[in-house]
A = this chain, B = another copy of it.
Amino acid sequence: MSDKPASPRVKLRRLPDRGRYDAASLHAVLDAGLVCHVGFVMGDTPMVIPTAYWREGEHLYIHGSSKSGMAMALAKGAPACVTVTMLDALVLARSAFHHSVNYRSAVILGRFFEVTDPDAKLRGLEAFMERIAKGRWAEIRGPNKQELKATKLLGLELGEASVKIRSGPPKDDDEDMALRCWAGIVPVREVYETPIPDPLLAKGIALPGYLKIS
């Protein structure tokens, strides 16, 4: 990716100063999230489905049941849009009009390809697990042949994408600055809380280090 939009389709027209097109900005947004929203078209109906994703280099990956309608449509190369959004704050201005939110979002357009080679699929699923819980792959039972067959792994090149970011305090009109009303931001954050063991967990199995909250 370069600093310029890869196509007119991903060029931001509204508030273009919030837009970025470089790989570092895109990677930063993608690496901060876990769930994306995938858009594709069924007949003339747009469908938007949430799913977990991960990034490796210049590709984003998702996986799902081989029988899922979305996975089947995407594997056939249907045009897709993947959007990742992090809400960072409510922005409370002095005028209704300038209320906003701080956020980071990425929009990627393209067509997925299916990863069919069993070894490549295994490596992909391992990379996903290791991103979430480093070291866990070695502890669990890996996918058997049947499970691997029941799973579709789909990749999307990060070639045509845009990032949009709003940050900072509210921006009110000059004539509103004297209003006696509170203005500022309310930060929003996604937090991972203390893990809860499976009620069926055998005794004597300690919480692994990769899940300890610092």
Contact = CB atoms under 8 A, between A and B. Distances in A.
Given A14-B65, A48-B39, A177 B192 contact: no
Given A140-B96, A183-B201, A49 B107 contact: yes
A205 to B, nearest CB: 5
Interface stretch (A16-24, A54-62, A97-105, A112-120): A97-105
A161 to B, nearest CB: 12
Contact of A97 (B37, B93, B143): B143
Copies of this polypeptide in the complex: 2
B182 A96 contact: no
Contacts of A169: 196, 198-200
Contacts of A109: 45
Given A96-B141, A96-B142, A181-B205, A38 B44 contact: no
Given A14-B67, A188-B191, A39 B46 contact: yes
Interface residues of A, number: 92
B179 A198 contact: no
A35 interface: yes
A69 interface: yes
Contacts of A83: 37, 48-50
Interface in A163-184: 169-170, 176-184
Nearest to A65: B14
Most buried by B among A50, A202, A205: A50
A178 B194 contact: no
A139 B206 CA distance: 52
Given A37-B37, A187-B195, 4 more contacts: A9-B45, A35-B101, A39-B81, A46-B79
